[in-house]
């Protein structure tokens, strides 16, 4: 399971806005210039983020985007969901398709594993706020040695 560029870039853009003054508007071109993410791609992401009510847009010379609520109230899961990221390792459709034929016991066992795995990913993304990311309060993962060294 991999996070696509949609999810990565949406989180980068949202963290960039979260680090600004809460009353300021940030233009897509500023975010693009500072992060190296294509302005066109950011515009597509911001349409989705706005539709999900995570950001609001202001037109005009001092326009741009701002967060619709405080970063502590925005969950990473909400950002990922807004840009159509799906972290479920098993879907309802997978379960329906396998109900047609008798399931081998190993399939039942592994489905339970993937359900638990998906649940843990969901809980993790739901428990982390945009403020946690933007304020750099998250500790490096000690469980995965390659992450700890980065």
Task: Indicate the average pLDDT of the chain.
Answer: 86
Q: Which domain holds residue 123?
A: 5-149
Asked if pLDDT for residue 1 goes beyond 60, the answer is no
> What is the pTM (predicted TM-score) of this model?
0.81
Element of type H or E holding 67? strand 64-67
CATH for 16: 1.10.10.10
- Beta-carbon contacts of residue 144 (< 8 Å; ≥ 6 apart): none
What's the pLDDT tens digit per position in 39-91? 999 999 999 999 999 999 998 888 899 999 999 999 999 999 999 887 776 66
Record the tokens describing residue 131, joined without a space: 């403020």
**Position 101 pLDDT exceeds 80:** no
Which three-class secondary structure string do you get for 12-66?
HHHHHHHCCCCCCCECHHHHHHHHCCCHHHHHHHHHHHHHCCCEEEECCCCCEEE
pLDDT of residue 110: 84
pLDDT at residue 92 greater than cutoff 60: no
pLDDT at 32 over 60: yes
Q: How many domains are there within the chain?
A: 1
- Whether 100 has a pLDDT exceeding 70, the answer reads no
pLDDT in tens, 133-150: 999 888 777 777 665 554
């Amino acid at each position: 399971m991999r996070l696509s560029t949609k999810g990565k870039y949406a989180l980068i853009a949202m963290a960039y806005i979260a680090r600004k003054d809460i009353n300021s508007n940030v233009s897509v071109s500023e975010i693009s210039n500072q992060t190296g993410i294509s302005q066109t791609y950011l515009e597509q992401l911001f349409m989705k983020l706005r539709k999900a009510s995570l950001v609001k847009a202001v037109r005009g010379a001092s326009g741009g985007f701002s967060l619709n609520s405080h970063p502590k109230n925005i969950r990473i899961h909400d950002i990922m969901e807004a840009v159509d990221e799906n972290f479920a390792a098993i879907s309802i459709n997978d379960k329906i398709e396998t109900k047609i034929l008798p399931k081998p016991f190993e399939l039942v066992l592994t489905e339970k594993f993937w359900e638990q795995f998906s649940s843990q990913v969901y809980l993790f993304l739901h428990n982390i706020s945009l403020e946690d990311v933007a304020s750099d309060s998250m500790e490096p993962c000690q469980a995965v040695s390659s992450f700890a060294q980065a």
